[in-house]
Amino acid sequence: QKEVEQNSGPLSVPEGAIASLNCTYSDRGSQSFFWYRQYSGKSPELIMSIYSNGDKEDGRFTAQLNKASQYVSLLIRDSHPSDSATYLCAVNDYKLSFGAGTTVTVRA
């Protein structure tokens, strides 16, 4: 089992809709969780970090963490075409592991 798994996508949403991304992880003791955005040909950039159960909101982005179920999700509200990118879920234990990524396309 991979340490971090994401719903593979791709995900296509209309402009203004909510994009929902999910991620599960295998190590029940994991404490640090992140969502990165990566535009084609660019480096990953951090958009959200979450360490405690519950929701964390930052602008149009909301990260949700459920340690009992070992999943972390990302909601993008009011999607813009500029949100079209690959979104990577990451878990930092003693090493930093990534999921395969979900490619999101926002249709104008």
Pairing state between β 45-50 and 71-76 = unpaired
**Site residues for other proteins, window 43-82 (CB under 8 A)?**
43-46, 49, 51
For the CB of residue 66, give the shortest distance to other proteins in the complex, in Å.
Answer: 18
For the CB of residue 68, give the shortest distance to other proteins in the complex, in Å.
Answer: 18
Helix ranges (DSSP H) in the chain? none
Quote the tokens at residue 39: 């535009």
Q: Which residues bind other proteins (CB under 8 A)?
A: 6, 30-32, 34, 42-46, 49, 51, 88, 90-101
